[in-house]
């Protein structure tokens, strides 16, 4: 089972983070087409398409962290900038990765999206996922890294008890998404089979994965969830799963809904519980922390004002470096002249003319020679 270690930090409220797998043949081409279309429509201010070598080149004003590099497994890095509420700028990066092992049939390409706004993120803003990926069922970008689980659909729970328990463990420990399990009290019609997550606001919709239990799975699902996560599955209801078995902010009773009508109507109580859970502080996995660092310290898509500030900063840094070089040159010349004078005094001086004791040691040519080069060495440091 893959390990999903977490950082002691919590995800900032200005950020939106997502990770998944694209199972199609041309993931980067799907991204390019969507970015071009959204820029032409005026949705995006601008975007960039970079290869990993270009992405590793520093362009930002502050010192670059090693974790800002996309890494050797990176295939491509895309950047996009847009305005969420007219005056709020959002910057986002999508990185595609080759699988850790040799690519297998159906394994797909892993992707990570990190987006950050100038202020706290709001759920009704556009989803960063669909700024890069087309919001179409025909493009299979929306698979979780947990096998067999997708966004934008109702995922049916496995019928086998061991498989079900394994799925619950993987979803709560590895996945970056909020997972909701809904039990069907009776087999719903076509309207009820639609995912209830479709009623969520845009930015939250692509952070939630919905699972469905069939009417006959009530007991097996309840037993597995109680065993693995210490939560209960109400018949005909729903429960928002904790992020880990011992999530300190999780209250099982609070995030359990006793009744959900799957008739195509909006399940208000369940949606409120999902929104409440999504607003809780969430741990920042190490991979998510690296993606956020890369966004902040490895950003390339500068605005004209940012390019001007960057150019002014570079001019100031070059001027500072030139001043240090000039100072070092002057100190070197001074030290060389002092050394030459000291050597000349040593060559032409008379032992009898030197003063005895401390005065002789203090004013000796060797002492002057040492002091001169000491100043040069200190300036170099």
| pLDDT per residue as tens digits for the range 25-73 | 999 999 999 999 999 999 999 999 998 877 776 655 455 566 677 888 8
Q: What's the pLDDT at 308? A: 61
* Range in 104-118, 186-200, 306-320, 345-359 the model is least confident about: 345-359
Q: What's the pLDDT at 215? A: 96
Torsion of CA 220, 143, 287, 248, to 10 degrees: -30
Q: Is 19 within 8 Å of 108 (Cβ atoms)? A: no
In the predicted model, is pLDDT for residue 381 greater than 60? no
Q: What's the pLDDT at 365? A: 57
* Distance, CA of 166 to CA of 158 (rounded, Å): 10
Model-level pTM? Answer: 0.79
Task: Between 325 and 201, name the one with better pLDDT.
Answer: 201
Banded pLDDT at 369 (limits 50, 70, 90): low
Mean pLDDT of 337-351: 72
Q: Is 174 within 8 Å of 146 (Cβ atoms)? A: yes
* Range in 247-256, 348-357, 367-376 the model is least confident about: 348-357
Banded pLDDT at 141 (limits 50, 70, 90): very high
Q: Is 197 within 8 Å of 185 (Cβ atoms)? A: no
* Distance, CA of 350 to CA of 73 (rounded, Å): 73
In the predicted model, is pLDDT for residue 244 greater than 90? no
Q: What's the pLDDT at 289? A: 96
Q: Which two tokens stand for residue 127?
A: 């989803």
DSSP secondary structure, 95-161, as one string: EEE--SSS--TTT-EEEEEEEEESS---TTSPPTHHHHS-S-TTS---B-SSTT-BSSSEEEPPSSH
DSSP-derived 3-state class of residue 334? helix
Mean pLDDT of the chain: 86
In the predicted model, is pLDDT for residue 104 greater than 90? no
In the predicted model, is pLDDT for residue 380 greater than 60? no
* Range in 37-51, 294-308, 363-377 the model is least confident about: 363-377
Mean pLDDT of 213-222: 95
Banded pLDDT at 231 (limits 50, 70, 90): very high
Look at the block and give the residue holding tokens 């069922």: 137
DSSP-derived 3-state class of residue 224? helix
Q: What's the pLDDT at 213? A: 97
Mean pLDDT of 260-276: 96
């Amino acid at each position: 089972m893959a390990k999903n270690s977490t950082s002691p930090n919590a995800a900032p409220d200005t950020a939106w983070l997502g990770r998944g797998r694209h199972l199609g043949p041309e993931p980067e081409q799907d991204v390019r087409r969507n970015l071009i279309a959204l820029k032409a429509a005026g949705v995006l201010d601008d975007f960039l398409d970079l290869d990993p070598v270009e992405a590793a080149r520093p362009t930002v004003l502050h010192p670059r962290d090693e974790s800002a590099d996309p890494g050797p497994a990176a295939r491509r890095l895309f950047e996009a900038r847009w305005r969420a509420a007219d005056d709020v700028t959002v910057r986002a990066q999508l990185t595609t990765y080759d699988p850790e092992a040799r690519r297998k049939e159906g394994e797909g390409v892993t992707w990570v999206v990190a987006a950050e706004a100038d202020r706290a993120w709001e759920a009704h803003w556009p989803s960063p996922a669909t700024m890069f990926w087309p919001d179409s069922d025909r493009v299979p970008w929306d698979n979780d890294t947990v096998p067999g689980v997708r966004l934008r659909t109702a995922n049916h729970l496995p019928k086998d008890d061991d498989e079900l328990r394994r799925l619950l463990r993987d979803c709560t420990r590895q996945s970056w998404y909020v997972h909701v399990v809904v039990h069907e009290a009776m087999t719903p019609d076509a309207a009820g089979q639609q995912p209830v997550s479709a009623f969520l606001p845009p930015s939250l919709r692509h952070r939630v994965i919905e699972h469905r239990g069939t009417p006959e799975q009530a007991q097996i699902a309840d037993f597995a969830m109680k065993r693995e996560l210490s939560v209960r599955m109400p018949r005909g209801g729903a429960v928002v799963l904790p992020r880990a078995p011992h999530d300190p902010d999780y209250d099982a009773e609070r995030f359990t809904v006793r009744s959900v009508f799957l008739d195509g109507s909006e399940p208000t109580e369940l949606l409120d519980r999902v929104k409440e859970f999504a607003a809780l502080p969430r741990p920042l996995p190490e991979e998510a922390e690296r993606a956020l660092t890369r966004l902040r310290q490895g950003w390339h898509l500068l605005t004209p004002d940012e390019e001007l500030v960057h150019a002014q900063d570079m001019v100031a840094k070059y001027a500072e470096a030139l001043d240090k070089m000039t100072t070092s040159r002057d100190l070197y010349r001074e030290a060389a002249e002092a050394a030459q004078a000291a050597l000349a005094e040593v060559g032409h001086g008379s032992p009898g003319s030197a003063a005895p004791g401390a005065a002789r040691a203090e004013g000796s040519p060797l002492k002057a020679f040492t002091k001169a080069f000491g100043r040069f060495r200190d300036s170099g440091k």
